[in-house]
Structure 1
């Protein structure tokens, strides 16, 4: 029976891998890496660096690269969910082929997932879709990783939550619809349009504080924090400059209300 490891590799630093993740790497014959195009070639390079750091003998494994299907990133509103569903199905087609063709019946393969596979990642759902099709059989396990959320608050030397208060993890798309009710600590991911800007305009008393980070765990890491009214414009500037320089950006932030309490 084929075995697939879904390995959380942290936010980019090879030292983010847990001992469990390193053990999983060392028991794997085939590693799958999805190429997202020339602009994001750094992401493939970081995965190669992680393998080189923990598997010094390149002859001990095979690295299989494949082009990631393109997703319609302009889809909005009612078209958004169908666009994501179509992209995931095309990814399932790719995973199905890769596992069937590249992993022998008595071998193990692995997908290296940024951060933690259980947090805002589609790999587990896609593998379940492949299994439901019944054309290729395998078992899989999941190795948790250090998420960008954990790395963000650690780098800013703050906690994710406060005593007796909840914390919510959401997307920029949801934050743009309104600040979650009953929650004062909100982690925002996948925010391509910087939804925090509307709250900077609505926060003249500086009652909101932001902890922002981009390329966390990599040599290009950028951190900005402070009252939202002051830090927001700075984040917009450095974010635009970084995206122009690299062609892509991965960032996240913690938005905290009533920071002085």
Structure 2
């Protein structure tokens, strides 16, 4: 493998792929394709459908995502998980024997709360890396709600659901964008004049949106995301919180 191209595909909507991303995927010899179990088979199917929709004839090199050891401390758990993912990438590539560039479609953005670059750095030898951004989930969210990302001259803190759940509302924050929240940390926040803008399956036909004062919107969102996960087998969502909106 001479080159590994990480292509941001936004939230999976075909329109979130840039022209540069389309060009990279159509030129790639092999595309690495993660499989996350039968309950999330639709995620792999969406990636394949996206490839075919742009006329890519790249060979597919599937790999099964390893599970994290939930018993280990968080940072060690993630480090070992990344090691395991790099190992299955290497095996998939050994079988595929790529003759040209290898591409990997990254849900969201390769540089924003994503570990693909860290995993790629574990390959031996480390390939030449090229990153092509797509539409990020945060761009898709604010566009869907037709709101600005920040207030006038205001700052935005981007954090994870895990940190919001364990640490609460960040000190002195006005606007907080939350990624990777599988457990609905927003539901445990005190009201304190918070407003939430939430979205799932952004840009897709399945898109769901909700917004409002957090005391009113949180129960609706929790119910909607549980129903959507049950219906589709997976959910990708994110949200923005703002004080005094």
TM-score, normalized by the shorter chain, greater than 0.5: yes
- 2:184 matched residue in structure 1: 194
SS in 2 for 1:196: helix
- 2:205 matched residue in structure 1: 219
- 1:231 matched residue in structure 2: 217
Q: 2:223, 2:243 → 1: CA distance?
A: 23
Q: How many residues align?
A: 244
1:110 aligns with 2:110: no
SS in 2 for 1:159: coil
Q: 1:222, 1:108 → 2: CA distance?
A: 36
How much has 1:29 moved relative to structure 2? Answer: 1.0
1:44-93 CA distances to partner (integer Å, 9 max, x unpaired)?
Answer: 111112111211xx6x3211211111123x45xx7111111111100011
TM-score normalised to structure 2 length: 0.93
- 2:115 matched residue in structure 1: 122
Question: Is residue 14–residue 49 contact of structure 1 (8 Å, CA) maintained in 2?
Answer: no
How much has 1:137 moved relative to structure 2? Answer: 5.3
TM-score normalised to structure 1 length: 0.88
- 2:62 matched residue in structure 1: 65
Question: Is residue 2–residue 137 contact of structure 1 (8 Å, CA) maintained in 2?
Answer: no
SS in 1 for 2:121: helix
How much has 1:237 moved relative to structure 2? Answer: 1.1
- 1:38 matched residue in structure 2: 38
Question: Is residue 165–residue 183 contact of structure 1 (8 Å, CA) maintained in 2?
Answer: no
- 1:174 matched residue in structure 2: 163
How much has 1:247 moved relative to structure 2? Answer: 2.6
SS in 2 for 1:249: coil
- 1:20 matched residue in structure 2: 20
Question: Is residue 199–residue 239 contact of structure 2 (8 Å, CA) maintained in 1?
Answer: yes
Question: Is residue 83–residue 119 contact of structure 2 (8 Å, CA) maintained in 1?
Answer: yes
Residue 161 (structure 1) aligned to one of 150, 155, 178: 150
1:52 aligns with 2:52: yes
Residue 89 (structure 2) aligned to one of 95, 102, 127: 95
1:142-197 CA distances to partner (integer Å, 9 max, x unpaired)?
Answer: 10111111111110111111111110110111112121122211011111221112
Q: Give the greater-gyration-radius structure (CA).
A: 1
Q: 2:97, 2:148 → 1: CA distance?
A: 42
Question: Is residue 3–residue 107 contact of structure 1 (8 Å, CA) maintained in 2?
Answer: yes
